[in-house]
Chain A
């Protein structure tokens, strides 16, 4: 069974919502659409206060190379363009919309028919993906069109579709593969065409046998797309780990996957690409898992972007009494929310509610130098050393020890028997070291 070699951990899977079909979430009364929802430069708002908007209309335009358009997820009236609090508690610009009816842009094909024929050529595909604001839906929200533009001198060989979903609890991608498998495969074919590659692999972990079986059957219809079952191990969904697992290539330190001829996209992204190209539909909704051990009705919702998280929780049975932590994303890499009024954004893959007791960290003891963090690190780093260096502010040394290679997967902290907040210090170290490197570049 294929998997990546270095490190990795096996957290409890807890895929509670795996057999819950995707449920279309009812339209909320109000949405808050953050202007910047992708990596890169913030986009510029193109609507004004008081404007009447339709579903699918452009709200904010990405102006630099790495930035993405944001579209109106609902129809209604723009009431304010103001700051909202994002998941970390800091302010971000957002468009406030009062929902009225559900009137869509005429250009969008809303019929349920599946369109197999890919008529668009390579350039049109990339341009359209850019226009429709498609970003990586795995969580990093990197604008998808940038990934498709292979830099000069490089050649893409393989397209990898990430259906690993190695985060515990989350099931959004799993359900998508089961219920929209065909559309997702057409999306894959479109991405293949845009990249000009012969071969695409869909990496799925063995804990989703139904998805592997379903997609393998569907793949017979598509040339050059193959399902690759993988051994269950976290963080297999990491770009570099997935490439290592599927095609056994190692992306060199500090380089992008294209260095070894690979492009990785999430299954959700492949589905969004299908909708953008075949249906002319911008990225205005996504599948979000709402789950947790104490949640009454764990569910997978198809939610419009901008819907407040509190509504999702309410529909899943309300916020449990003993809630200690609400996490946007999975338990290994997700962000703890400071407020439940934050909206769903393009990168929200799940809402995880953790009971009070479970959400508390264990007492921090002194390091017993067991080296488990080193064994667990999928990048072959020494988290214990890097954390020490960053705590004592020796960032230059940390850079030499490859702190910038850290993918922040959290395996080190997860595995530490002394409960040391290794990743906290690693993040701090990465942040400061990155600053150091950028300042050096300026000189």
Chain B
């Protein structure tokens, strides 16, 4: 009895120590020397592994930062400027101050504005529906409302509004990782400056058809009339392919373009109500509220 125990103890400890020695040498042999700063930088990162920086996860981002030592091309949208400042401190660099961005849905073709003409049945995937058809409203550029962006969002920041059938982005939750921008097969979503007090102005339409056909499918389509272009004092608005686009870098949020738009396709978000009535405009949109 005793012999068995002694034998087992001895043989097991022998195996243990031999393995330990082997492991030690193997570890020495295959040791990877890594810049310790990678770990430090990695710890400062939010760890969401969302890919919003364009790299495969936070670790890869940290490696890239330390390797290149260049902050100008890399940015963590989740952590924002605060995180980037801390990282810059670790690396002994100066971080550029970047305005926070947010995903913006550039389509206002709600069920009321762009009535349904045919009904779609099938896989609930915008990517597939986009291949199959122009969509229920007939607008070839409009939101299909099947929620590929919702699925792509890791931060639960987008949901489809039941009444309008359009996606809504949450101001608090969106970190502008850009996953929805890639997911949308129609490139409706754009990352734009979040703006002070979440105030934003943008053209909520990307339809490039001529005015007539565009309006046929959607009341609030941009018809490319160019009135807003003339109105803008900062050259922030350009007109291309029957479509106006407001450059968010140049826009000063002066609110002059919004009242002149005859179809109401320019949207203002989170501004206080106007004091004087802004002329006779064909405003058909209901006030947009964003949580």
On whether A and B touch (CB less than 8 Å), the answer reads yes
Could you list which residues of chain A lie within 8 angstroms of chain B, going by C-beta atoms? Answer: 83, 85, 88-91, 338, 360-361, 391, 421, 424-425, 427-428, 431-432
Select A428's contact among B117, B128, B138, beta carbons within 8 Å: B128
Across the interface, B132 reaches (CB within 8 A) one of A83, A85, A88, A360, namely A88
Assembly CA distance A83 to B125 (angstroms):
27
In angstroms, Cα B133 to Cα A402, docked, is 26
Closest to B128 in A: A428
A425: which of B128, B138, B140 is its contact (CB, 8 Å)?
B128
| Contact indicator B128/A427 (Cβ below 8 Å) | yes
Nearest 10 pairs between A and B by C-beta?
A: A89-B134, A424-B123, A428-B128, A421-B123, A424-B122, A338-B118, A89-B133, A88-B133, A90-B134, A424-B128
Q: 7 new A-B pairs (CB below 8 Å) besides A425-B123, A428-B128?
A: A88-B134, A90-B140, A338-B118, A361-B122, A421-B123, A427-B131, A428-B127
Q: Is B115 an interface residue (CB 8 A)?
A: no
Q: In the complex, what residues of A have CB within 8 A of residue B118's CB?
A: 89, 338
Docked Cα-Cα span, A428 to B122, in Å, equals 12
B262 interface contact, C-beta 8 A: no
Q: Name the B residues within 8 Å of A360 (CB-CB).
A: 121
CB-defined contacts of A361 to chain B, threshold 8 Å? 121-122
Q: A338-B133, A361-B122, A421-B123 are in contact. Are A89 and B128 (CB under 8 A)?
A: no
State the CA gap A85–B131 with chains docked (Å): 15
By a CB distance below 8 angstroms, the chain A residues around B209 are 91
Distance between Cα atoms of A208 and B128 in the complex (Å): 37
With a CB–CB cut-off of 8 A, which chain B residues contact A425?
A: 123, 125, 128
Shortest CB-to-CB span from B132 to chain A, Å, is: 6
CA distance A432 to B209 in the complex (A): 26
CA distance A424 to B138 in the complex (A): 20
Question: Cβ of B77 < 8 Å from any Cβ of A?
Answer: no
Q: Name the B residues within 8 Å of A89 (CB-CB).
A: 118, 133-135, 138, 140
Q: Nearest chain A CB to B145's CB is how many angstroms away?
A: 15
Chain A contact surface mostly? mixed
Binding site for A on B (CB under 8 A): 117-118, 121-123, 125, 127-128, 131-135, 138, 140, 209, 213
- Chain A nearest CB: distance from B58 CB in Å? 21
In the complex, what distance in Å separates the CA atom of A391 from the CA atom of B209? Answer: 31
Residues of A close to B131: CB separation below 8 A? 427-428, 431
Can you show 9 pairs from A to B with CB atoms below 8 A apart?
A85-B138, A88-B134, A90-B134, A338-B134, A421-B122, A424-B122, A424-B128, A424-B132, A425-B123
Residue pair A91, B122 in contact (C-beta under 8 Å): no
A88 to B133, CA, bound (A): 5
Which residues of A are found within 8 Å of B133, using beta-carbon distances? Answer: 88-90, 338
**What residue in chain A is nearest B125 (Cβ atoms)?**
A428
> In the complex, A182 Cα to B8 Cα: how many Å?
94
Q: Are B213 and A83 in contact (CB-based, < 8 A)? A: yes
Query: Which of chain B's residues has its CB closest to A324's CB?
Result: B119
- What are the residues of chain A within 8 A of B123 when measuring CB–CB? 421, 424-425, 428
Assembled-state Cα–Cα distance A91/B207 (Å): 12
CA distance A428 to B117 in the complex (A): 24
With A89-B135, A90-B134 as contacts: A338 and B117 at CB distance below 8 Å: yes
**Minimal Cβ-Cβ distance residue in B for A387:** B123
Least Cβ distance of A81 to chain B in Å? 14
A323 to chain B, nearest CB (A): 12
Query: Can you name the residue of chain B whose Cβ is closest to the Cβ of A422?
Result: B123
Residue of A nearest to B135 (CB): A89
Nearest CB in chain B to that of A359: its residue: B121
Cα–Cα distance between A431 and B130 once the two chains are bound (Å): 11
In the assembled complex, the CB of A32 is this many whole angstroms from the nearest CB of chain B, namely: 15
Q: Cβ of B134: which chain A residues have Cβ within 8 Å of it?
A: 85, 88-90, 338
The residue in chain B whose Cβ has the minimal distance to the Cβ of A88 is B133
Q: Which residues of B contact A431 (CB under 8 A)?
A: 127, 131
* Bound complex: CA A432 to CA B131 (Å): 10
User: Which chain B residues border A88 with CB–CB below 8 Å?
Assistant: 132-134
CB A416 to nearest CB in B, in angstroms, measures: 13
Give every chain B residue within 8 A of A427 (Cβ-Cβ).
128, 131-132
Task: Give the shortest distance, in Å, between A247 (CB) and chain B (any CB).
Answer: 34
CB–CB B140/A91 < 8 A: yes
- In the complex, which residue of chain A has the Cβ closest to the Cβ of B138? A89
Q: Which residues of B lie under 8 Å from residue A424 when comparing CB positions?
A: 122-123, 125, 128, 132
Give Cα distance in the complex from A265 to B283, angstroms: 57
Q: How far is A425 from B122 in the complex, measured between Cα atoms in Å? A: 9
By a CB distance below 8 angstroms, the chain A residues around B127 are 428, 431-432
Kindly list chain A residues whose C-beta atoms are within 8 Å of the C-beta of B138: 85, 89, 338
Instruction: State A428–B123 Cα separation when bound (angstroms).
Output: 10
Instruction: Enumerate chain B residues within 8 angstroms of A83, measured Cβ to Cβ.
Output: 213
* A335 closest partner in B (C-beta): B132
Complex-state Cα separation, A101 to B134, whole angstroms: 36
Q: Which of B117, B121, B123, B138 has the most CB of A within 10 A?
A: B123
Expressed in whole angstroms, the Cα–Cα distance for A338 and B125 within the complex equals: 19
- Minimum Cβ distance to chain B for residue A387 (Å): 9
A361 vs B121: C-alpha distance when bound (angstroms): 7
Complex Cα distance A427/B117, Å?
A: 24
Give Cα A88–Cα B118 distance, bound, in whole angstroms: 11
Residues of A within 8 A of B121 (CB): 360-361
- Using CB atoms, name the residue of chain A closest to B132: A88
A363, chain B: closest CB distance, angstroms: 11
Interface centre among A83, A424, A427 (most CB of B within 10 A): A424
Nearest chain B CB to A203 CB, angstrom units: 31
In the complex, A365→B213 CA distance in Å?
Answer: 39
- B280 smallest CB distance to A (angstroms): 32
- Within the complex, the shortest CB–CB distance from B22 to chain A, in Å, comes to 37
Cα A88 to Cα B130 with chains together (Å): 10
> For the complex, what is the distance from the CA of A27 to the CA of B132, rounded to whole Å?
31
Q: Give the distance in Å from the alpha carbon of A54 to the alpha carbon of B138 in the complex.
A: 34
* Distance in angstroms between the alpha carbons of A83 and B213 in the assembled complex: 10
Docked CA distance A360–B120 (Å): 10
Contacts of B117 in A (CB 8 A): 338
Chain A: minimal CB distance from B154 (Å): 14
The winner among A90, A361, A428, A432 for most chain B CB atoms within 10 A is A428
Nearest B-chain residue to A424, judged by Cβ: B123
Q: Give the residue name and chain of the A residue nearest to B123 (CB).
A: A424
B126 to chain A, nearest CB (A): 10
Most buried by B among A83, A89, A91, A421: A89
Chain B residues with CB below 8 A from A391, complex form: 125
The CA of A353 and the CA of B115, in the complex, are separated in Å by 24
Q: How far is the CA of A361 from the CA of B128 in the complex (A)?
A: 17
